[in-house]
Structure 1
Amino acid sequence: LVPGRIKEVHTESGAVLKAKTVIISTGARWREINVPGEKEYRNHGVAYCPHCDGPLFKGKRVAVIGGGNSGVEAAIDLAGIVDHVTLIEYGAELRADAVLQRKLATLRNVKVIKSAQTTEVHGDGKKVNGLSYTDRNSGESHRVELEGVFVQIGLVPNTEWLKGTIDLSKHGEIEVDAKGQTSASGVFAAGDVTTVPYKQIVIAVGEGAKAALGAFDHLIRSGDDETELAAAA
């Protein structure tokens, strides 16, 4: 992205797009645990969205990897659907808000394992049937028999190509104002790639509409001559 009165977007193919306004909606991707079996059993027992895929595991045993807010929230939600939840946290303590931890502690079908590093997702060639982890204190390896693994260790915004161009948060998300405007005039952003909380489709759709209206308002108020863009092209 090259900001300016006329913005440019340089693509990997070598093409250059020019426009008076740009709306960035490149989204985010789930952070992966990068262990054997994760990619092989994705959508065959390995999942990343408890709201989307939780009901598919009704009455089954699952694991949630991650002890932050998203992980503990996922464990709480899944506990009302599945038979049993094993929450695996790499650190010595859970990192979720205290109110979430208190709620988690009241659930009888949830087991929390701390100081555990997930090492492999097992399967029968078609679907997940287990998970292995190493106790980071003793070094011992353990296996948990289950049918599903929910990876909840955060999202990675697709903004690597924007570093040094517009303002990003410490998590790499694009910082936007109430109209979806970024730190570069005429450059807007919407959806999971931004600092807007709650990464849900319905929210991203609304943010997209807002950014489009913000871009439209910018064009009206900028007073640029239509021939300027044609000349730049």
Structure 2
Amino acid sequence: MTDLIVIGAGPAGLTAALYATRAGASAIVLDGGAPGGKLNLTAEIENYPGVIQKGPELAYSMYEQCLSFGAQYEYGEVTQIEDKGEHKIVHAGEKTYEAQYVFIATGTKERHMGIPGEEEMSGRGVSYCAVCDGPFFKNKTVCVVGGGNSAIEESIYLSDIVEKVHVIVRRDVLRADQYLISKLNQKDNIEMHYLKKPVSIEVTDNKVSGLVVADSKSGELSTIPTNGIFPFIGLDPMSGFVKDLGIVNEQGYIEVDENQETSVKGIFAGGDVTAKHLRQVVTATNDGAIAGQYIASLLK
């Protein structure tokens, strides 16, 4: 039995464990991947106050700081939480953990395009992380699908590695911040394709060779020759394992109150997996700080 189990080691989860243990609570952090969450997939952090740093570096700093006050980190994919009233049972593979309180910070996962060839070529020309896989396409041509901040950030990042970036946008305008659009316009190897939507992926010799797109108005098909495809068309919350608890909304995001507590007493949540307007590192750490400090106060 421990005081707090944190599920997810992104900024929200690491901050919750930091604040809770610093205030005297015991905590275990569970995650099925490397500490830091999506920070590990981010080239540069430019909008976290006081910090201009590479994502993985900030992730490791948060991780070390979290452990410095006694939090334990364990690898595990959580599949279920049992609410036993005064305590909770967390199932992760063959292991079970018990705690008075649980903080869920599992974040989101990249939405797939759902077109022929995508699943087959995932990891073999289709990638959802430019920072991870961009160097494999040095001096080649790639397509980025999407018109929001993530798509434009990744397009700018890739433009410094590859020969040509084609950006496929379903609408006739970008949804990205003006700051990013200004940076995009400074790149001469990025070509925009508005009012286009992906239809299928062409494969030659077991490699991605083209992206077939349809005109959003006429439906006319055309093919963009490419060596790689990076979809950034949205995110879905990783909350399937708690849907039986009745704490998620219709979109799958977890609903919380001002203390980050769900409708199930003793179960808290924060970060990108929660229903909120702005999903950023700074808002994730805010959620974790509120929950961690509040949980610690309940133990006294």
Normalising TM by the smaller chain, what interval?
0.7 to 0.9
Cα distance in 2 for residues equivalent to 1:55 and 1:108: 19
CA 1:136–1:28 in 2, change beyond 3 Å: closer, same or farther?
same
Question: Which of 92, 102, 118 does residue 198 from structure 2 map onto?
Answer: 118
CA 1:76–1:25 in 2, change beyond 3 Å: closer, same or farther?
same
Deviation per residue, 1:147-182 (Å, 9 max, x gap):
11001012211124545733669772565868xx43
* Unaligned runs of at least 5 residues, structure 2: 1-80
1:158 paired to 2:238: yes
Conserved in 1, the CA contact under 8 Å of 2:239 and 2:252?
no
Cα distance in 2 for residues equivalent to 1:115 and 1:165: 39
Could you tell me which residue of structure 2 aligns to residue 217 of structure 1?
296
Conserved in 1, the CA contact under 8 Å of 2:102 and 2:266?
yes
- State the Cα distance separating 1:23 from its structure 2 match: 2.9
Q: Size of the alignment, in residue pairs?
A: 214
One-letter amino acid matched to 1:152: F
Structure with the largest fraction of strand: 2
CA 1:216–1:137 in 2, change beyond 3 Å: closer, same or farther?
closer
- State the Cα distance separating 1:71 from its structure 2 match: 0.8
Cα distance in 2 for residues equivalent to 1:190 and 1:168: 14
Conserved in 1, the CA contact under 8 Å of 2:172 and 2:194?
yes
TM-score when normalising by structure 1: 0.74
- State the Cα distance separating 1:126 from its structure 2 match: 2.7
Could you tell me which residue of structure 2 aligns to residue 5 of structure 1?
86
One-letter amino acid matched to 2:261: T
Could you tell me which residue of structure 2 aligns to residue 30 of structure 1?
110
CA 1:29–1:85 in 2, change beyond 3 Å: closer, same or farther?
same
1:137 partner SS: coil
Conserved in 2, the CA contact under 8 Å of 1:7 and 1:18?
yes
- State the Cα distance separating 1:125 from its structure 2 match: 4.7
Root-mean-square deviation over aligned CA pairs: 3.7
TM-score when normalising by structure 2: 0.59
* Unaligned runs of at least 5 residues, structure 1: 222-233
2:142 partner SS: strand
CA 1:10–1:54 in 2, change beyond 3 Å: closer, same or farther?
closer
1:50 paired to 2:130: yes
Could you tell me which residue of structure 2 aligns to residue 172 of structure 1?
253
Cα distance in 2 for residues equivalent to 1:5 and 1:218: 16
Percent identity of the aligned residues?
Answer: 35
2:273 partner SS: coil
- State the Cα distance separating 1:6 from its structure 2 match: 3.5
